[in-house]
Chains A and B, each alone.
Chain A
């Protein structure tokens, strides 16, 4: 086991102890990234909250160790505190006040562990008029302006069907932890980080917030069109719910597209030779393209346009990453409950010196309880057995 980042070929966070009290997704996504960077992430779970080994997602549980502790049990709580005393980083995303009630908040812990970096990832942060609001990914997608920026004018609110805000919150959390650790290397001190997912997501829409602040108008909704080029859009192909994205960036590509769709006259149409003309007649062009794409499978549409030098990509789905060797390169096969491997992504970057920990399958609930007590607290078997008897380790 590598001691720290100084060891050859170690991860950037090698040797770092992260105590992970997170659940759902934003928090686990942050700690999984810390784990991918080489940290020893110990995920505190409990059978009292999570009866039985349900399907455990590599999404949230890979590259981590899992311990079960009953935090409401006095002996279990003492262990949690002792682990917190040796941790470099604590990550939590409970509602405001929960960690304080558990006496596992920063103010309680930092006197005994002044190097502790403690990060709370909550919906709105722990201060301000919304701090008591309950939030979820979809409510944040709505409140941060994303759902009325996506789609075309007049569309209802439009969502992306993933945990978008949890990713954004988790990414900002990871960055904040890394920056706090860099500061700690200089100052010797940790800090308390009260991160708001709402603010992280609003920042991604910062430009439109500034524009609206000046104009007094809500942002335009562009749908699939571009402010810079035409034609651009998503065109229906043969079959049920199959589409191809096309983005014509140059006049030469426009001429090539016209040929491919069997309408060379469009390339000579004076109304359309410049992009200004093409944007003015975008609806007409879209109809012409769709008439051609509708008759063909999306793979053929993509191939014919790409062969002619026109930027085109068929709409891929999750199964494409399994079947196509030319996509999904960030994904790795890991073992799971099925005989076939699962796919889960690693980080989208590599280092020339530091190592990245490849993703593992999900560990079992409480799989590492005894091991972590030995590693982090140097407990012996007798002490661990005593804790088992006190029902602290469930």
Chain B
């Protein structure tokens, strides 16, 4: 188990969550007033609170919190005393101490420096070409919701960290990893880039219809939508017709031909939607899956909180939250794999006293730092 110092912003914070899922000791060094991740809504409980931000509650689970103002001389001194004990440091630029100073304190450290996240999320998304492929044809393109793009960039940061940690395991040697967030964004356009350079074709927004195969999309159900992707093979079409028994389509022999289905897809999609609109999505999906059609309910995060697959796999566990009572908690993809428990997110500064004591600050000195606003401490 390694000690990790976490000074990441939103674009990289998932990386240190993944390190916590692996069982490492992650100390999040946060501004005493609470950093931007803590302040991001929605709030569990519906009222803004430094402990209740949903992004803090999920991405900072499993970590310890050191509330420390690294913009002050005293704060940087505390940080410098902490550096030698860390195997890994992950920080969004600018670093509180420059790289040479960090290396002098800890020559073998795996230092990951994250830059390239200066643009606002929506602007970075547009610049990376992703806005052009998100949303519905004929309408304004739209940003992926839930700040999901930053979870993806955090995963990329973790790949870099994990590779450097492996090298250190094998060779004893540390190094610096430099990650560029804008480049992380750009990678998610790679299929479209290759399609353009290889075939001269630009990828369009396709909304919720017709992804790769023509007979596909989100269709209305009695209680929402379900997603179907039928596949091109005629055998699949015939099996589907066998089930649907549509009076217009099922008997039409011309539709055995793929090109004919492609040409008449609008009618086909219309009729499928009208047919399934009568049934609850769980029922229609269960029937379609029995026939091996790739499909799923179109779900919201609320439905996922009760999902039987996530519960069965141990991804969702029941926890007693001090503020919100018994609730479903997502352990995380890798914690589930390694079957590790992940503690709830820490209160701001909850580890201050222990860590400062470990670093040799006397009670008087800790009091002085607190009085000067260099450190914060949580209310008990």
User: For this complex, into which size category does the number of interface residues on chain B fall?
Assistant: 35 or more
Q: What residues of chain A lie closer than 8 Å to B189, measured between beta carbons?
A: 162, 318, 321
Q: Measured between alpha carbons, how far is A229 from B295 in the docked complex, in Å? A: 37
Q: Measured between alpha carbons, how far is A123 from B151 in the docked complex, in Å? A: 19
Q: What residues of chain A lie closer than 8 Å to B358, measured between beta carbons?
A: none
Q: Measured between alpha carbons, how far is A320 from B192 in the docked complex, in Å? A: 11
- CB within 8 A of A212: which of B162, B292, B302, B336? B302
Q: How far is the CB of A134 from chain B (nearest CB, A)?
A: 4
Structural contact, B170 and A202, CB atoms closer than 8 A: no
Q: Measured between alpha carbons, how far is A226 from B218 in the docked complex, in Å? A: 26
Most chain A CB within 10 A, of B136, B212, B305, is at B305
Q: Measured between alpha carbons, how far is A345 from B184 in the docked complex, in Å? A: 10
Structural contact, B298 and A178, CB atoms closer than 8 A: no
- CB within 8 A of B324: which of A214, A222, A226? A214
Structural contact, B294 and A219, CB atoms closer than 8 A: no
A178-B305 in contact given A206-B58, A314-B126 (Cβ < 8 Å)? no
A351-B122 in contact given A162-B191, A193-B337, A318-B196 (Cβ < 8 Å)? no
Q: What residues of chain A lie closer than 8 Å to B304, measured between beta carbons?
A: 144-145, 202, 205, 209, 212
Mark the stretch among A99-107, A165-173, A263-271 that contacts chain B: A165-173
Q: How far is the CB of A296 from chain B (nearest CB, A)?
A: 16
Q: How far is the CB of B149 from chain A (nearest CB, A)?
A: 9
| Residue A118 interfacial (CB < 8 Å) | no
- CB within 8 A of B177: which of A157, A209, A316, A350? A350
Q: What residues of chain A lie closer than 8 Å to B104, measured between beta carbons?
A: none
Mark the stretch among B78-86, B239-247, B307-315, B364-372 that contacts chain A: B307-315
Structural contact, B299 and A135, CB atoms closer than 8 A: no
Q: What residues of chain B lie closer than 8 Å to A140, measured between beta carbons?
A: 296
Q: What residues of chain A lie closer than 8 Å to B184, measured between beta carbons?
A: 330, 348
Q: How far is the CB of B291 from chain A (nearest CB, A)?
A: 10
- CB within 8 A of B227: which of A139, A315, A344? A139
Between A and B, 30 residue pairs with Cβ closer than 8 Å are A12-B163, A13-B166, A134-B292, A136-B229, A143-B227, A148-B300, A151-B135, A158-B136, A161-B133, A161-B203, A161-B211, A167-B187, A171-B159, A178-B165, A179-B334, A199-B313, A204-B14, A208-B42, A208-B146, A219-B301, A227-B42, A236-B140, A315-B131, A315-B132, A321-B129, A322-B193, A327-B127, A331-B186, A349-B177, A352-B177
Chain B interface residues toward A at CB < 8 A:
14, 18, 22, 40-46, 54-55, 57-59, 119-136, 140-148, 151-152, 155-160, 162-167, 169-171, 173, 175-184, 186-198, 202-208, 211-212, 216, 218, 225-229, 289, 292-305, 308-310, 312-313, 315, 324, 327-330, 332-334, 336-338
User: Which 10 A-B residue pairings sit nearest by Cβ, starting from the closest?
Assistant: A149-B145, A142-B227, A178-B162, A204-B151, A348-B183, A143-B296, A247-B120, A330-B183, A218-B300, A245-B126
